[in-house]
Amino acid sequence: MNYQLITQKTAEGRNSYIQYIKLMLYKNRKDLFDLLDFDAEAPFMEPLLYTWFNAREKKISIEQILFGYIAPDKRPATIPVYPDNNGIIYLPGIGYYHTNITVGPVDYYGNPNSSAASLLVNGQAIEATFENIYLLNNTAIELCLHNNPLLNTLFEGNEDLAVEDTVSRHKQHLEKALAYIREFYPEFDALLHATIKRVVLFKSQHLRSFATILANGTAFFNVQDSHDEVFFCEDITHQCGHVIYYAVMFNKASFFSVPPETPIKQFNKRPGDGRTMLGAYYSLLPFLFSNANFYRLYEAGVFSDRQLHELLGRFPFCMRKFKVALEDFRSGEMLSEKGRSLWQEFEQAFNELDEKVSSFIYQYDSSNQGYDFSYENFLLLNPIDSSLAIK
């Protein structure tokens, strides 16, 4: 894969996105825009800004989102802030305030010492316990410790997503997977840190892991109790791969010869395929990243025993999905020259990797798998034995 090309396109898209957010903020809240450092990237890469601009209901205030990015000597004396249903008030770049108030607004009086800030309701001080944000080891990527009202609008239904319990159980698995990626897949690691600002761990029986432009810069991982760093090695590259792809494809229409929202079934002749052209094309780069990462980890001998068995189940599952995704665009009739050129990069990367691994990774039976890989299902058809593939 031409990582130099992807890095260049990611940087271009990222810069275009920052300019777009600056313009949106200038048009909507010039008073706040003027308080920010125009040359700093962090305020305009804050994922909740895009969420706020596109939300029908502004569940928290834009002042609450930006307060932590304003230099202390320029910060407003007080701003309105809003808690979640558990009384937790989140300010990006600052932290969490645990209160017994579940309905806002609350008047927030900042302090250079965040734990000494004051919170008032109707002029009366309320008790609040402060909790710092958490940055994942050796990164500037924030791990959400709690949900917040604005972010919660991106989830469907009223399911308890168990964010706190999932973080407690799986934080070490996530950090271990990130360390493996940093060591064995530095090309992806660099792209990851250029685009990902926040990750959310949750547990759901109905939702899948996802990324969305509506929280650009955030990856959402649906983590089950049995998952460990093998799961994260796939899901990080896949979900964060979507976020990287949002930057690469910032000018979406330029990749297609038809409107990006055209149903893909018009071309792949699968009546049940409900995706748009854009949605289908978005799957290509994440599959490339996941498969390349699996191969790096396999070559390095990172995993053994049960974890190696799981990797050797996930790897061909993702390779097969990558192949199907490539076939959707083989005719090229729906792509512009730019889109076809990128598709050819993906196909070449797939063919080169397939040639290296086809002798051993397709030995297992994946016929009982659904849309997402299930190691539990994989075990039913492929019990662990002493014949794990050897390089």
Whether 289 and 221 share a structural domain:
yes
388 within a domain of the structure (yes/no)? no
Q: What pLDDT score was predicted for residue 377?
A: 96
Domain stops at, among 133, 168, 184? 133
Whether 32 and 166 share a structural domain:
no
∠ CA(244), CA(19), CA(261), 5° rounding? 55
161 within a domain of the structure (yes/no)? yes
285-310 per-residue burial string, b: 16 or more CB within 10 A, e: under 16: bbbbbbbbbbbbbbeeebbeeebbbb
Whether 148 and 186 share a structural domain:
yes
Whether 55 and 164 share a structural domain:
no
Q: What pLDDT score was predicted for residue 325?
A: 96
Q: What pLDDT score was predicted for residue 387?
A: 54
Domain stops at, among 111, 133, 155? 133
Whether 68 and 201 share a structural domain:
no
Q: Which residue has the tokens 């990558």?
A: 322
How buried is 317 (Cβ within 10 angstroms: 0-12 exposed, 13-18 middle, 19+ buried)?
A: buried
Whether 258 and 198 share a structural domain:
yes
Q: What pLDDT score was predicted for residue 157?
A: 72
Give 10-residue mean pLDDT values along the chain (391 residues).
93 97 96 97 96 91 97 96 95 97 95 95 96 97 94 83 96 98 98 97 94 95 97 98 96 96 93 94 97 98 96 96 96 96 97 95 92 94 70 43
Whether 52 and 107 share a structural domain:
yes
Whether 88 and 158 share a structural domain:
no
- Residue 69: both structure tokens together: 């990015």
- Torsional sign, CA 328, 288, 370, 276: negative
Whether 156 and 250 share a structural domain:
yes
Domain stops at, among 133, 154, 175? 133
Report the DSSP pairing between strands 88-91 and 95-98: antiparallel
Give the C-alpha separation, 2 to 311, whole Å. Answer: 25
Give the C-alpha separation, 7 to 14, whole Å. Answer: 10
Give the C-alpha separation, 319 to 353, whole Å. Answer: 9
Q: What pLDDT score was predicted for residue 45?
A: 97
389 within a domain of the structure (yes/no)? no
104 within a domain of the structure (yes/no)? yes
Whether 191 and 258 share a structural domain:
yes
Total structural domains within the chain:
2
391 within a domain of the structure (yes/no)? no
Containing structural domain, residue 207: 142-381
Whether 241 and 315 share a structural domain:
yes
Whether 327 and 357 share a structural domain:
yes
Q: Indicate the DSSP class of residue 225.
A: T
How buried is 106 (Cβ within 10 angstroms: 0-12 exposed, 13-18 middle, 19+ buried)?
A: buried
Contact of 179 with 76, CB cutoff 8 Å: no
- Torsional sign, CA 334, 337, 342, 343: positive
Give the C-alpha separation, 92 to 36, whole Å. Answer: 14
Name residue 11's amino acid.
Answer: A
387 within a domain of the structure (yes/no)? no
Name residue 23's amino acid.
Answer: L
Tell me the pTM: 0.94
56 within a domain of the structure (yes/no)? yes
Q: What pLDDT score was predicted for residue 385?
A: 75
386 within a domain of the structure (yes/no)? no
Q: What pLDDT score was predicted for residue 179?
A: 98
DSSP bridge partners of 97: 89, 130
